[in-house]
Amino acid sequence: GAVVSQHPSRVICKSGTSVKIECRSLDFQATTMFWYRQFPKQSLMLMATSNEGSKATYEQGVEKDKFLINHASLTLSTLTVTSAHPEDSSFYICSASAWGRELGYTFGSGTRLTVV
Amino acid sequence: KQEVTQIPAALSVPEGENLVLNCSFTDSAIYNLQWFRQDPGKGLTSLLLIQSSQREQTSGRLNASLDKSSGRSTLYIAASQPGDSATYLCAVRNTGSSNTGKLIFGQGTTLQVKP
């Protein structure tokens, strides 16, 4: 149980366009989802926390207008990188947790974004 | 502010060796600690989750310990295999009602097991 599906796994887009990444919890209801960014050979940096039905909470230094997060249902959260630029190229990973603090987090397989 | 440190940053061992990966955290007020494995270009796979009230967790050849008072956790891998080669990340989840439950990650230990 506790499977998180992330799509797409890879995307290449032109500078100035927008890209949407989906994160789905397949067999549980995710009350909270997290979006991380990972640069090569570095650890994960939390970008934002999204709770179903409410606005996302962004970490300091993360542009909320550039990284739009929507968590419209208990099984789906989306991250849209708007007006992407080459410096937005990175590995984006989502994670989800369900009710009950005793549970750990399940991570998606990640999305490699390349902006050309 | 919670900070998580992992030592060593990289480790190379011959197949069959037992090894220990270290993780330390500065704030002992944690809710739980989780060890993950990440293969290159992939997402994270959860290995072991230790609640703050627990001292250790075991899964197969893996054993994770937690000493909250000293701010340390270790991941022990027995009889290492080439397939264990990956980056191992530890992450803590702090307590506190204002906390959203986010994880704070260490920088990871990249393990290479040579055949």
- Cβ atoms of residues B23 and B32 within 8 Å: no
Nearest to B46 among A44, A46, A106 (CB): A106
CA distance A18 to chain B (A): 22
DSSP B7-66: E-SEEEEETT--EEEEEEES---EEEEEEEEE-TTS-EEEEEEEETT-SEEEETTEEEEE
From chain B residues 2-61, the ones with a CB under 8 A of any chain A CB are 31-32, 34, 36, 41-46, 49, 51
CA distance B79 to chain A (A): 26
Residue B97's pLDDT band (cuts 50, 70, 90): very low
Residue B98's pLDDT band (cuts 50, 70, 90): very low
| Mean pLDDT in consecutive groups of 10 residues from the start of chain A, 116 residues | 89 97 89 89 89 87 94 90 96 82 77 96
Q: Which residues contact B18 (CB under 8 A, 6 or more apart)?
A: B76, B77, B78, B79, B80
Say yes or no to pLDDT of B104 above 50.
yes
Which chain A residues are within 8 Å of B102, Cβ to Cβ? 34, 46, 49
Question: What angle (nearest 5°) sits at the alpha carbon of residue B69, between those of residues B86 and A60?
Answer: 60
- Please tell me the predicted confidence (pLDDT) of residue A102: 53
CB contact under 8 A, B44 and A101: no
Which chain A residues are within 8 Å of B34, Cβ to Cβ? 104-105
Residue B96's pLDDT band (cuts 50, 70, 90): low
- Cβ atoms of residues A95 and A47 within 8 Å: no
Q: Regarding predicted confidence, which is higher, A106 or B9?
A: B9
Tell whether B89 is within 8 A of chain A (Cβ): yes
